[in-house]
Chain A
Amino acid sequence: MGADTIDKVLMTGNEAMAEAGIRAGCRAYFGYPITPQNELLEYMSAHMPQAGGAFIQAESEIAAINMCYGASAAGVRTMTSSSSPGISLKMEGISYIAGADLPCVIVNVVRGGPGLGNIAPAQGDYFQATKGGGHGDYRMIVLGPSTIPEATEHVMLAFELADKYRGPVMILADGMLGQMMEPVVLPKPVDPATLPAKPWALTGAKGREPNIVTSFYLDPEELNMMDVKRESRYRQIEEQEVRYEEHETADATVVIAAYGSVARIARTVVKMARGEGIKLGLLRPISLWPFPYAPLRAIADRVDAILTVEMNAGQMVEDVRLAVAERAQTPFYGVLGGLVPTPKDILREVKRYAG
């Protein structure tokens, strides 16, 4: 039975994100199999046709992202998903989509890397997602969910933001979020017919001037104009779309900065530390771009240390250090290879900076 008739279901993250995509009004999904993301694609293949949409298992990741480009240009809410090595392949297309000002939702169920790496959960794609990845001056809104209900909400939000700002939006999940099961209250389905019109879309030029969707401007003046316009939209995103969560930070002397699955583990660490009388808090960036620099800076003024914990060799910590500067210590603790830190591991690190 599909999840279309029930609202609270036990689902893997991958399935929940797929169902949320359909409920968000996505009617064109293109993908290519890769573990640990497969269930998302499989769910789409089973349920997208019933929703009256298009599902295509493309011949490659590159083909899939370019199909998204086409569908989005035609005004359809479109989505693709993959895992790290596959996302690298999509980066060219993502740059084109950004350059053509097209909305598109991309889910990255991150696995260990670099190269083929492995299929275990990791956060090694933070740089790729938030600092470019593809070529040219573009930005991509990146959301880092830490639970499956949140991943579901993020898919709905990603489609809204992609349409609003006309650009690619990425959900940066990981192998754990993709594979884990949790009860999810599914969002109410959106009828694509009720979505705001897209006057720029290629819907047939009968009776009107033709629209052009392109990222190619040979004249530097013209390209400059397009780029500057896009940049001003990015500034607007930085002002309006910063999302984060603070947990027990009011009286904290040490604060953990962590996103995604690690933030979930860090919540347990906060509880353990508080039980031992250590005033520990957590700041969880939810939007990884735009990054919550200002809230981190505000916390830095009143704590001794902000410990960044990641499942990588230290990527988000660069943004934390940019925000904090010399206001507090900014140590880093990371695990590599697709390993997941335990609460005990993190608490041991916290104790080096507490008290």
Chain B
Amino acid sequence: MPRGAIIVDKERCKGCGLCLVFCPQDVLAFSGEHNRSSYDVVCMKHPEQCTGCGFCAQTCPDIAIEVYRQKKPKDGS
């Protein structure tokens, strides 16, 4: 399975929780950490489950999520 990771721009996140609902891998959760506007920002609770599918980033209305996908190894192993 391809592996992925995300980075949340904490100052852009408004804690709406949409990404959390749409992540098919149950990766995301509220972090309990509040940004400058006092919003509880999202973090990766189960980073090992992230496939890098990008659903979260597409869902986020505030473009707060950046998605990274691990390159497929060239030798096919």
Contact = CB atoms under 8 A, between A and B. Distances in A.
Interface of A: 35-36, 38, 119, 179-181
Contact of B37 (A35, A180, A181): A35
8 pairs of A and B residues whose beta carbons are closest in the complex: A35-B37, A35-B38, A179-B14, A119-B38, A181-B61, A38-B37, A119-B39, A180-B61
A71 B38 CA distance: 32
Given A179-B14, A179-B16, A119 B61 contact: no
Given A35-B39, A181-B61, 12 more contacts: A35-B37, A35-B38, A36-B14, A36-B37, A38-B37, A119-B37, A119-B38, A119-B39, A179-B14, A179-B16, A180-B61, A181-B62
Contacts, number: 14
Interface of B: 14, 16, 37-39, 61-62
Contacts of A36: 14, 37
Contacts of A35: 37-39
Contacts of A180: 61
A119 B14 CA distance: 10
Nearest to B37: A35
A41 to B, nearest CB: 12
14 contacts: A35-B37, A35-B38, A35-B39, A36-B14, A36-B37, A38-B37, A119-B37, A119-B38, A119-B39, A179-B14, A179-B16, A180-B61, A181-B61, A181-B62
Main secondary structure of the interface of A (DSSP, over half): loop
Contacts of A38: 37
Contacts of B14: 36, 179
A35 B39 CA distance: 9
A181 B60 CA distance: 11
Contacts of B61: 180-181
Contacts of A181: 61-62
A300 B61 CA distance: 40
Nearest to B63: A181
A118 to B, nearest CB: 9
A36 B38 CA distance: 9
A344 B52 CA distance: 32
Nearest to A179: B14
B46 to A, nearest CB: 26
B4 to A, nearest CB: 26
A35 B61 CA distance: 18
A35 B13 CA distance: 13
Interface centre among B14, B38, B39, B61 (most CB of A within 10 A): B14
A337 B61 CA distance: 23
B37 to A, nearest CB: 4
A33 to B, nearest CB: 9
A129 B39 CA distance: 26
Nearest to A180: B61
A165 B38 CA distance: 38
B14 to A, nearest CB: 5
A35 B38 CA distance: 7
